[in-house]
Amino acid sequence: MVREWLLTYGVPFVGSVLLAIGIVGGVMGGYALVQPAIGFCGDPQITVYSAEDTERLREGHTPAGGPELDRLRIAELSPAERRAVRAGIEAPGESISVEGATPHRAAFRRGVLVVADGQAHYVTLATENDCTQVSPLLLPLGIAAGLLGIVGVLTPPIYRRYLAFERSQHGDGESEGG
């Protein structure tokens, strides 16, 4: 009776947990592997506000009421940053990848006013776009746990088949219900 419960509910339950853990390991490990390869991480993304929005945001906040923002001239930016800011001015509010060196990352993270063509634009980091960092063991262990989990989940039917086999071996002539 206990074994019946164990095999019908206990083992598949452990199997399901393993499967879930396996999915975690497999997804994270696998994704960490392919993510840089297919270019899904690395370049940080910035958001540039339009000059009007920047004005509106700053209204009533400077110099006393809000954070003091640094100013950068667009000429000070690295070429990649400059390209990204230019693209951002064209498409305010969208996330733009900075494809290249980003020496002003810290300033972007804090939020900064970039002056281009005489107008200030508020620029912030939209996402750092880090690459997933996980132990290289995670993928193989995840796959192993997943496979083991599948075996666990499939235990009840396998066990029932096995019992049918045992019974047929004893040849007691009962039909092998199915």
Query: By the criterion CB under 8 A, which residues form the site for another protein?
Result: 1, 3-4, 7-9, 12-13, 16-17, 19-21, 23-24, 27-28, 31, 35, 40-41, 45, 93, 95, 126-135, 137-138, 140-141, 144-145, 148, 156, 159-160, 162-167, 169-172, 174-178
Task: Supply the minimum distance, in Å, between the C-beta of residue 86 and another protein.
Answer: 19
Closer of 65 and 178 to another protein (Cβ): 178
Q: How far is the CB of 12 from another protein (least distance, A)?
A: 6
- Contact (CB, 8 A) for 155 and 4: no
Name which of 113, 112, 88 is nearest 98 in CA terms.
Answer: 88
Distance of CA 32 to the CA centre of its chain: 9
**Identity of the residue, 101 or 158, whose beta carbon is nearer to another protein in the bound complex:** 158
Amino acid at 109: R
Q: Residue 168 corresponds to which tokens in the numbers above? A: 């047929």
Residue 175: exposure state from Cβ atoms within 10 A (0-12, 13-18, ≥19): exposed
Shorter beta-carbon distance to another protein: residue 35 or 78: 35
> CA-to-CA distance for 96 and 22, rounded, in angstroms?
35
Q: How far is the CB of 119 from another protein (least distance, A)?
A: 19
Least gap, CB of 76 to another protein (angstroms): 27
Based on CB atoms, which residue is closest to another protein, 73 or 170? Answer: 170
- Counted residue by residue, the chain has a size of 178
